[in-house]
Amino acid sequence: QVQLVESGGRSVQTGGSLRLSCTAPGRPLRTYAMGWFRQASGQEREFVAAIDWSGATSSYADGVKGRFTISSDGAKNTMNLQMNSLKFEDTAVYYCAAASGSSLLGQTPRPPYWGQGTQVAVSS
């Protein structure tokens, strides 16, 4: 079992920025493929961004390309999601997810490890 802990979610105005972080206490993240998903109220959980275990390759959902940046920091054992130019439709609970191996995460298959989520609320 891998414990994932997210942080950084809060309320922000449209056009603002937030940085989410995910860590795995006692586990080196470099051994996992990592990613972010989000779930808006009444909606299904959707893929946002992913990064491979080496940190060299990433992918993004179309709706966040050019605005969000995923990164990993081996020294701090964290994965981050920098979110810029936030829109109301970015409002959701954001989840950190992980899977063993080097393949990038995507909408499917669902990764086996999840954090508890952190709320992001974007308002005008």
Task: Give the 3-state secondary structure of 53-101.
Answer: CCCCCEEECHHHCCCEEEEEECCCCEEEEEECCCCHHHCEEEEEEEEEC
> Looking at this protein, which amino acid is placed at residue 56?
A
Question: Dihedral angle at the C-alpha atoms of 24, 27, 28, 33, nearest 10 degrees?
Answer: -60
Give 4-60 pLDDT, tens digit per residue: 999 999 999 999 999 999 999 888 888 899 999 999 999 999 999 999 878 789 999
The single residue listed with the structure tokens 């893929």 is 47
Task: State how far the Cα of 31 lies from the Cα of 46, in Å rounded to an integer.
Answer: 23
Half-sphere exposure of 58 (CA within 13 A, CB side): 21
Give 56-87 pLDDT, tens digit per residue: 899 999 999 999 999 999 889 999 999 999 99
The DSSP line for 12-47 is: EETT--EEEEEE-TTS-GGGEEEEEEEE-TTS--EE
3-class secondary-structure state, position 123 = strand
pLDDT at 10: 97
